[in-house]
Amino acid sequence: MPVSRAPAGSGRDLLGVLHPSARALPGPQPVTPPPVATGGRLSRTALGLLGTAALLLSVAASVRIGSADVGYGELGRALGGRLGLAVEPLPPLLDSLIWDLRLPRVLLAALVGAALAVCGAVLQAVTRNALAEPYLLGVSSGASTGAVVVVVLGIGAGSLGVTGGAFTGALLSFGLLLILLRRGGLDSLRIVLTGVIVGEFFAAVTALILMASGDADTTRAITHWLLGSMASARWDVVVIGAVTTVVGLAVTWACAGALDGFAFGADTAASLGVGVRATRATLLVVTALMTSVAVASVGAIGFVGLIVPHGVRFLVGPTHRVLLPFTALAGAVFLVWADALARIAFTPREVPVGVFTALLGVPLFLLILRKRGEL
Amino acid sequence: MPQRARAGLVFALALVAAGCADSGGQDRSGSNGAVTVASCGRDLSFDRAPERAVALDQGATEMLLELGLEDRMVGTAHLVTDIAPRYREAYEQVPVLSPDILTGEQLREATPDVTVASFAALYSRDRAGTREELAELGLPSYVSAVDCPEDNEAGLTPFDRLFVDYENLGRIFGVEDRAAELIAEQRQVVEEAEETRETVTDPPTVVWLYSVFNGLPYVAGNGGIPSDISQRLGVVNAFDDVDEQWPEVTWEEIAERDPDLLVIGDLSERGAPGDSAEEKLTMLRDHPVVSRLDAVRETRIIEVPGIEMDPSVRSVNTLRLVAEGLRDLGYAG
């Protein structure tokens, strides 16, 4: 295996060619981050409005969808009652269905979708690898292990909580990944293979913990959760998710210039005046935090971070200042609909949403590859 | 003998505890029909008998049907195997909300006024919702006493705790007479089976094979119905040293413990590979080591419905079957 590769050389293999920094592609994007043209800005404004409208509409539409059909009248009564309007209150159980379960669930799907998609975009730039995302790099597995240690073994249940455990696990897996990648540079294939190894290692630890201490029922419950399920969404989780997603978005967006630099390699970033080590560390910690909050609340949902940034890059180009907000919007819309599908596709059974993101994600990914002329 | 002395002490304590059981946390508050029942760490209050019960699993479903409550049920869920034939007709009247574990939305949509479950684990955020959440909505959540030995008097066995359930549900639904009848019936089966113990001279060791999953056997450890049955019949559960209800073990471990006989659970209605008693028998006979055990070569094997190895209103049937099996195989008179 080559110890390191010149940025130009890595653009020639399949993985490299997918990368935003791949220059020789017949893609619609200009080669360097361009000064945004007036026409482009207008269409981006329009696209931005369109995206926001799509998100709001998706949330409004999918709130109705589920095992129980919720009408807008009932929705209005549930919301109106809480806003102090004079509406006829719903029966308590129906009110609880809408207010305690359905609304937080849809909002959490939007928040987690946005967070995971942004994590994918950031990791792809920082590691200069088109296939980077929390799931593929083993970060989700690390977060799952941390969460399972807390839930099943009860270690740190009081002090850390599930989110804390997931965060520790995510950081550990990231640390392990970086230690393994310490020598030899950030070659695309190396990163993916190392990420897979780290992921497998943590998956094995999780399996070991479940085998050693879980009874069949706990194992079943955890397995369902590990596949990614929104069923446990409540308002407290939504608040945590909202705070992390907003903070994470703000931090990564503030680093947008640095991310553009990273996409062209650490040397380019350094020459652009980016403090490479500190910025990279900040971005990795922020993505680890966002991933672990997502995993702790809904389990490991894969492919969102892979699919969404690629699709969005195709639409708005690789400049992170634009790419990140659109990625967040698209990720939110994507997961809101994936979860709505998970709720009703096999009623009365509910399918873990992670299964659907993979089922939807893989063909979409192939389509993107094909559009870019790589398949 | 110190061990016998300790057993005697436990028995005495159990008697004392059982004597107090009637008063502990179960006050009938007044004559207007209001009832408070303690259930696995929560006090459930009922102003009047519930009319819209949802049973979260098969054990709870069959228990309510046995008490003749099908008219007052608005839903069941999570059926592991076929409903027992004697409940089938009543069962037809009750809507199946989900074949799987019930979600919070499905439960709320059914607008129940009480929920009944065999396992506390069914009440979690990603399932029906926590018991705290349901309590805030004014929805009492009953959990079988079998699932929370720590909340019951010390020394009660799973069968004793099943009887606690019948009594509690009888009071909640105002069908105390039917519950008392059921307790008397099942107590009689238990006592008859226990007479078998007197005739067991050389206590045989038994491995209870519940299911085979991914090629690995799940057997009965300590604390469950099989362990209880073994003690009542004077036989030795070979895996009683494992403090877990259904530990996953290896075939080698079973061979090493070389049991005198095997009880195998038939779960053929569940339909997964290795679930039927026949398939389990084939596996035993094909295994290079297990097939050489005396119990397998001489077919000292008792078949029971696997679902009855889990605590439920049907469990006494397995007690009866194993007692019969012991007599047939010549271990009891």
Q: Which CATH number fits domain B22-174: 3.30.390.50, 3.40.50.1980, 3.30.70.100, 3.40.50.720?
A: 3.40.50.1980
ipTM score of complex: 0.80
Residues in chain A within 8 Å Cβ distance of B58: none
Chain B: residue nearest A92 by CA? B137
DSSP B117-154: ES-GGGSSTTTT--HHHHHHTT--EEE-GGG-GGGS-T
Structure tokens at A120: 């994918």
Tracing tokens 């949802």 back to the chain, one arrives at: B54
Between CA B166 and CA B177 the distance in angstroms is 10
List of chain A residues whose C-beta atoms are within 8 Å of the C-beta of residue B129:
101
What token pair was written down for B129? 């919702």
Q: Is-contact A140 A269, C-beta < 8 A?
A: no
Per-residue pLDDT of chain A (375 residues; tens, 9 = 90+): 333 333 333 333 333 334 444 433 344 444 444 444 444 555 888 889 999 999 999 999 999 998 888 889 999 999 998 888 888 888 999 999 999 999 999 999 999 999 999 999 999 998 888 878 888 788 889 988 998 888 888 787 767 777 788 888 988 998 898 888 877 666 667 777 888 899 999 999 998 888 777 566 667 767 777 788 888 899 999 999 999 999 999 999 999 999 999 888 777 778 877 788 888 889 988 998 899 889 888 888 988 998 899 889 988 999 999 999 999 999 999 999 999 999 999 888 888 898 888 887 778 777 766 766 655
Residue B127: its chain A contacts at CB < 8 A?
Answer: 221, 231
A103 residue type, one letter: L
Distance CA B119, CA B57 (A): 8
Task: Confirm whether pTM is higher than 0.90.
Answer: no
Q: Any idea what DSSP says for residue A300?
A: -
**Of A67, A92, A96, Cβ closest to residue B103:** A67
Domain range summary for chain B, segments of one domain joined by +: 22-174, 201-328
Among A68, A92, A217, beta carbon nearest to B105? A68
- pLDDT level of residue B186 (50, 70, 90 thresholds): very high
How buried is residue B28: exposed, middle or buried, by Cβ count under 10 Å (0-12/13-18/19+)?
Answer: exposed
Quote the CA–CA distance of B207 and A47 in Å, as a whole number: 67
Query: What is the Cα–Cα distance from A159 to A144, expressed in whole angstroms?
Result: 18
Would the CB atoms of B124 and A229 count as touching at under 8 Å?
no
Question: How many residue contacts between A and B have a Cβ separation below 8 Å?
Answer: 70
Helix A161-180 / helix A139-148 crossing angle, nearest 10 deg? 140
B22-174 and B201-328, same CATH topology:
yes
Inter-chain contact A232–B121, Cβ cutoff 8 Å? no
> Is domain B201-328 classified as CATH 3.40.50.1980?
yes
Nearest-CB residue to B108 (from A97, A231, A232): A97
Q: Domains plus CATH for chain A?
A: 107-371 (1.10.3470.10)
CA pair distance B316, B312, nearest whole angstrom: 8
In this predicted model, what pLDDT tens digit does every residue of B234-271 receive, in sequence order? 999 999 999 888 888 999 999 999 999 999 999 887 77
Residue matched to tokens 């129980």:
A68
